Chain A
């Protein structure tokens, strides 16, 4: 062989080998379709357990379509790369997952591949669901397969090139799909371990509370350091938590269970649905989540605790609040906010004293702008906080004045910058005000109106 022929065959071998490796990384076989009518019935207990797990996994929040059909998907999820639509996970044979076997479902949860072998976008948080064990996947499958089938085709994703090429997801998985995020720890209690399993797995708390990198993956080096979701800030739930009073397991339990806590206020935005779901599962599961999450926050530093005690003492003594230099903000506060927030009535009958508000101590004013514009929706059939929105009575300038006043009056942090931009943006993407759970089917605004995170 000539020298060039040798080089040629080596090159050919390399290309072939590379191609084989690439196919191995990318290609996934289809898993055979099953006949939905031939599926064996499920044990009622298994279905019941699956329902509780689906609530912990918050499935319905993304898989609820505009028409309000639970689990029928079609919800537009904005991403920096375009819009991804959640799929129909009812057992409809043609538009849902009715032809999926349990093995196909488990593969989707664990590896992010659908029955036909296509890679799924990580908008579906399989980077967490990969930690869900076989037993829980079986219960979830039983729950989903016993829901009412809804015929509703999932819209095509609207992603820009090259992100519309699913082959890229295989590369993303090689880079970012870690399977080592949940470690049982025998030195910790069973409760802690259950909590770790749920928080790192099915409950996928980090999907919102961990910041993401440029390729949309959770940053491994900054777990629970705070992220963005649907024009809200998901606060840091580690040592960087902006909460004026440090969280502990008891407070977390009450908050996750009831949707509010007297020292922390109300779950709002996407977190409201999480808390609503957790109110329906066994208190042991919520206690486990609270116990593990408290350890994620870590013990609070002595100076932080001292500061919290000062704030709590001040709240109790209710000092007269000086007007400060922002007369407009102070006047709005006095007439529009103080009757609830300075009343001394405990949450949920009164508003939280704003010195305790995490929204006001947050690194950015998005959550506060959302609340002031849209208010806080009460939960149907229970005592829960309520607040009217002020979008109709205040213009952007007035809301900016109020937000700046609240920040300087009720937190010891530096003034926010770019508040006017945030307020304008929030008004544009504002959720319809005051929806109850019954009307929640429409709580998602048109994708075009939404901002990319």
Chain B
């Protein structure tokens, strides 16, 4: 039994130490935003944020998350009140089939948390581990730039330290 912190809540998890985080998120906690794509850490669809960094949850065993804070897409915003990154992806219609998009948003979010104004090259390099077979790459780039703009504006009005 271990305690797993996800989206600000503690969960008691009864699973083997080598269970991939993705399985726990989807099967035990019903957090289905992170997707199972390849199961090999090669496509990026399972990306979540752990202590501020983008992590491939399909190759991250549970035992590595002791005491760490996991954030999934569900932790960023809701349908009624989407986070800037979610709003930007919707505004740019960046999803086609959408399977890769949750992972893309999580890595983009991690990038924007440490670099508020990334260059196009920064974004391309950061998103390199993610595959999208629909080919909405240009829209994804636009969405991340738009999210950076939204977050920078939000920063001016919201209190410091807010998650989004």
Contacts and interface: CB of A to CB of B under 8 A. Distances in A.
Interface of A: 327-328, 330-332, 334-337, 339-340, 386-388, 390, 392-394, 398, 432, 434-436, 439, 442
Contact of A331 (B55, B59, B61, B125): B61
A336 B22 CA distance: 12
Contacts, number: 65
B134 interface: no
B19 interface: yes
A183 to B, nearest CB: 46
Given A335-B60, A340-B40, 19 more contacts: A331-B17, A331-B61, A332-B18, A332-B63, A335-B59, A335-B61, A336-B61, A339-B59, A340-B41, A392-B50, A392-B54, A393-B56, A434-B125, A434-B128, A435-B125, A435-B128, A439-B121, A439-B124, A439-B128
B128 to A, nearest CB: 5
Interface string B17-43: 111100000000000000000011110
B121 to A, nearest CB: 8
A390 to B, nearest CB: 8
Contacts of B61: 331-332, 334-336
A387 B40 CA distance: 8
Interface of B: 16-20, 39-42, 50, 53-56, 58-64, 121, 124-125, 128-129
B129 A388 contact: yes
A339 B46 CA distance: 15
Contacts of B121: 439
13 contacts: A330-B18, A331-B63, A332-B61, A335-B61, A336-B61, A339-B58, A388-B129, A390-B59, A392-B54, A393-B50, A393-B60, A398-B64, A435-B125
Contact of B60 (A336, A386, A434, A442): A336
B59 A334 contact: no
Central interface residue in B42, B59, B121, B125, by most chain A CB within 10 Å: B59
Contacts of B40: 339-340
Central interface residue in A330, A336, A337, A434, by most chain B CB within 10 Å: A336
Contacts of B16: 331
A335 B19 contact: yes
A398 to B, nearest CB: 6
B75 to A, nearest CB: 17
Chain A binding surface SS class? helix
A427 to B, nearest CB: 13
Nearest to A335: B61
A432 B64 contact: no
A442 B124 CA distance: 13
Nearest to A387: B41
Nearest to B17: A331
Contacts of A388: 41-42, 56, 59, 129
Contacts of A335: 18-20, 59-62
Contacts of A398: 64
Given A332-B61, A386-B42, A436 B55 contact: no
Contacts of A339: 39-40, 58-59
Given A335-B61, A336-B60, A336-B61, A439 B125 contact: yes
A337 B53 CA distance: 20
A343 to B, nearest CB: 8
Given A336-B59, A388-B42, A436-B128, A331 B18 contact: yes
A419 B159 CA distance: 44
B127 to A, nearest CB: 10
A442 B39 CA distance: 30
